[in-house]
Amino acid sequence: MLKLEKKHIRSACLVFSRAFKDDPFNVYAFPDPEERAKKMPYAYQFLLRYYISYGRCYITSPKVEGVAVWIHSNNLRTSFWRVITSGAIWPAMKMGMDTSRRLQVLTNYIEKKHRQRMSSKKKSVYVGSLQFEEVREPGNKRLRIVRVVKQSEI
Task: Give residue-wise pLDDT tens across range 49-87.
Answer: 998 998 889 888 898 888 888 877 677 777 888 888 898
* pLDDT given at position 45: 93
Question: Hey, what amino acid is at 47?
Answer: L
* pLDDT given at position 150: 41
Q: Which residue has the higher pLDDT, 79 or 149?
A: 79
| DSSP secondary structure letters along 69-112 | EEEEGGG-S--HHHHHHHTTHHHHHHH-HHHHHHHHHHHHHHHH
Q: Distance between CA 19 and CA 33 in Å, rounded? A: 14
CB within 8 A of 1, min separation 6: which ones? 58, 59, 60, 68
Residue 81 CB: number of other CB atoms within 10 A?
8
* pLDDT given at position 10: 92
pTM over the 0.85 mark = no
Q: Which residue has the higher pLDDT, 27 or 114?
A: 27
Q: Distance between CA 29 and CA 55 in Å, rounded? A: 23
* pLDDT given at position 123: 55
DSSP state, residue 7 = G
* pLDDT given at position 77: 73
109 pLDDT more than 70:
yes
pLDDT in tens, 117-128: 665 555 555 544
Q: Distance between CA 53 and CA 76 in Å, rounded? A: 12
132 pLDDT more than 50:
no
pLDDT in tens, 12-39: 998 888 888 888 888 888 889 999 999 9
3-state secondary structure of 56: strand
CB within 8 A of 6, min separation 6: which ones? 49, 52
154 pLDDT more than 70:
no
The parent domain of residue 10 ranges over 2-153
Domain count within the chain: 1
